[in-house]
Amino acid sequence: EEHQRRKGDPATGGSTRKPIMTAYRQEAIACAAAMADGPKRPRDLKSISTRAASILLHNYYGWFARAERGIYALTEAG
């Protein structure tokens, strides 16, 4: 399932000391790119990623912050 979700093959074989580009990371980057123009709700990002709500809520990379109830914005790291 991981391979089916990935777009392209951004992970170079045999590379070390670089983060692996997973499907989850690709979706998080897509959500962050969509939020560049301002805060959004998870349902606004549903067309980009079906896991958008989970990505914003769990905030694994520290890129998103809850601006208000149900609305998320990018952090400085994002």
pLDDT at 42 over 80: yes
Q: How far is 69 from 78, CA to CA, in rounded Å?
A: 19
What's the pTM? 0.77
- Check the CA dihedral 42-48-51-55 and report its sign: negative
Q: CA 70 to CA 41: how far, in whole Å? A: 6
**Cβ distance 64 to 29 under 8 Å?**
no
What pLDDT score was predicted for residue 9? Answer: 60
pLDDT band, residue 7 (cuts 50/70/90):
low
**Residue 3 burial (C-beta neighbours within 10 Å; 0-12, 13-18, 19+):** exposed
At 8-33, the pLDDT tens digits run 666 566 666 666 778 788 899 999 99
Residues β-bridged to residue 72:
40, 66
3-state secondary structure at position 66: strand
Q: Confirm if 23 and 47 have CB atoms less than 8 A apart.
A: no
